[in-house]
Amino acid sequence: MPVFFRKIISPSLSPNTESDDVWEAVRAFLKPRSWQRGSAIDEIEHWFKDYYDASAAVSFDSGRSALYAILEAFGIGLGDDVLVQAFTCVAVPNSIRWAGATPVYVDIDKRFNIDPKDLEKKITKQSKAIIVQHTFGIPAAMDAILTIARKHNLIVIEDCAHSLGATYHNRTVGSLGDAAFFSFGRDKVLSSVWGGMAIISQKSPPKADQPMAEKVKSPPAGEAGQKLRQIQEKLPYPSRIWIVQQLFHPIAFAVILPLYNLIIGKVILECLKRLGLLSKPVNDQELRGEKPLFMPRRYPNALARLLMRQLVKLKRYTIKRRRTVAYYQEVFQSRNEIIMPKSIPGGVYLRFPILVQNQEEVMMRAKRAGILLGNWYTSVIDPVQVNRENVGYIAGSCPKAEIYARHIINLPTLISEDEARRVVAMV
């Protein structure tokens, strides 16, 4: 079949929206009285509290707001350093800076996650917390990280923006540290276009065998959970116009995606973007390292409704993503020019990252074949337009992350077997 008659394959253009999600958006749109407040928010929070056996689960408008609230709840702010991996989204260091703290960048390991060896080298007296990102849904080396955190008395916050449903040695990723946050952005494991959740573990933050004066002055888990809730309750709901804009997103993409390879789909997308009818995942202020005035906010009920519909699909999506990855691994293992992460049991593989010699050429070839490959993290602080200096990244400080950024491509995983064969043929 000629390329232009085929549906576009893309891990970033609303990859997990199905027809029932579109209808749910229409139904939610028709109930304007429950766009902001409503029972779906409580149901989502309960689901997370139960699934992660957490002491608290509190929703926000995004993962970045959830992280900001966690830092505030643990009293992390001015004068404190937060260790975070390079090879991340600008939303993460920005949230650290919103809280008044300083991001300290750590290099990555072969799983694209924080490297425990570099982590230990970068710990100082100012270090208060580590953010552990499970990049692409591949679990980080938690045992080594938790040992280091305990030794240095640091709070561990798991960044589960990519890893809802993942496990690490049969334990649930997201329940291994002191707190965790999740994103329900348009291209995440499950999506409501925007949204985020913060959870606090049952256990208190680890205390090393150190004199009292040197210990982190962080509240026990129960107290942190209460603070998180107080922070949320003081925040406003997003405006009704903003909520309508997000409800429009799955509806618009239901039209755009089948037509994308025909020029008309691209034209519609471009027009909607220019008319400001579709929201951007990261706005211009954030690219400059500034805080948008309207954030953080609460999670609105209309988007919680979209997420409830997606939650029942978690298992099915995870099975499908893992099956695609098993196929990629099988066919790429004999290709010496392709480097891929070792198979990690328990990963959910939001995308499958591989390193190729000629990144740009592969991306162009894919485009011609009707496949839009993902570009996380072709810049160490993503997206490429970010002013890295403004967010405190010192060029050359994380050399491995910089090399990986020049060679990475992200393959889609939530696709059919036939589509996976097309991706492999293109690579």
Ligand X SMILES: Cc1ncc(COP(=O)(O)O)c(C=O)c1O
* Residue 421: partners with Cβ closer than 8 Å, 6 or more residues away: none
d(CA 212, CA 228): 25
Q: Which residues pair with 200 in a beta bridge?
A: 56, 179
x/- site string to ligand X, residues 114 to 143, per CB under 6 A?
A: -------------------x----------
Among 11, 15, 63, 206, binds ligand X (CB under 6 A): 63
**Residue 113 engages ligand X in binding (rule: CB under 6 A):** no
Tokens in use for 82? 């937060």
Region near ligand X per CB under 6 A, out of 61-69, 255-263, 346-354, 396-404: 61-69
**Residue 410 engages ligand X in binding (rule: CB under 6 A):** no
Among 82, 91, 398, 405, binds ligand X (CB under 6 A): 91
Region near ligand X per CB under 6 A, out of 59-67, 112-120, 355-363, 415-423: 59-67
Among 28, 69, 70, 89, binds ligand X (CB under 6 A): 89
Residue ranges in 367-386 that form contacts with ligand X under rule CB under 6 A = none
Closest CB 355 distance from ligand X, rounded Å: 18
Closest CB 141 distance from ligand X, rounded Å: 17
Nearer to ligand X, 104 or 161 (CB): 161
Q: How far is CA 203 from the centre of its chain?
A: 24
Closest CB 12 distance from ligand X, rounded Å: 10
Nearer to ligand X, 273 or 335 (CB): 273
Q: What sections of 275-334 are H helices per DSSP?
A: 284-287, 301-311, 314-332
Q: How many residues touch ligand X (CB under 6 A)?
A: 15
d(CA 168, CA 173): 6
Tokens in use for 43? 């149901």
**Residue 321 engages ligand X in binding (rule: CB under 6 A):** no
**Residue 159 engages ligand X in binding (rule: CB under 6 A):** yes
d(CA 45, CA 43): 5
Closest CB 223 distance from ligand X, rounded Å: 25
**Residue 92 engages ligand X in binding (rule: CB under 6 A):** yes
Which position's Cβ is nearest ligand X?
63
Among 10, 88, 113, 191, binds ligand X (CB under 6 A): 88
Q: How far apart are the first and last CA of the chain?
A: 19
CA dihedral 218, 220, 225, 226 (to 10 degrees): -90
Residue ranges in 257-296 that form contacts with ligand X under rule CB under 6 A = 281
- CB-side exposure of 125: number of CA atoms within 13 Å? 2
Among 62, 191, 261, 379, binds ligand X (CB under 6 A): 62
Closest CB 1 distance from ligand X, rounded Å: 33
Nearer to ligand X, 258 or 281 (CB): 281
Long-range CB pairs of 75-80, under 8 A, 24+ apart, other chains included: 75/217, 75/218, 75/219, 76/101, 76/128, 76/129, 76/155, 76/218, 77/101, 79/126, 80/126, 80/127, 80/128, 80/129
x/- site string to ligand X, residues 185 to 204, per CB under 6 A?
A: x----------x--------
* Residue 224: partners with Cβ closer than 8 Å, 6 or more residues away: 55, 56, 70, 73, 74, 178, 179, 200, 218
d(CA 25, CA 246): 9
Q: What sections of 7-38 are H helices per DSSP?
A: 19-29
Nearer to ligand X, 63 or 165 (CB): 63
Nearer to ligand X, 185 or 300 (CB): 185
Contact residues for ligand X, defined by CB under 6 A:
62-64, 88-89, 91-92, 133, 159, 161-162, 183, 185, 196, 281
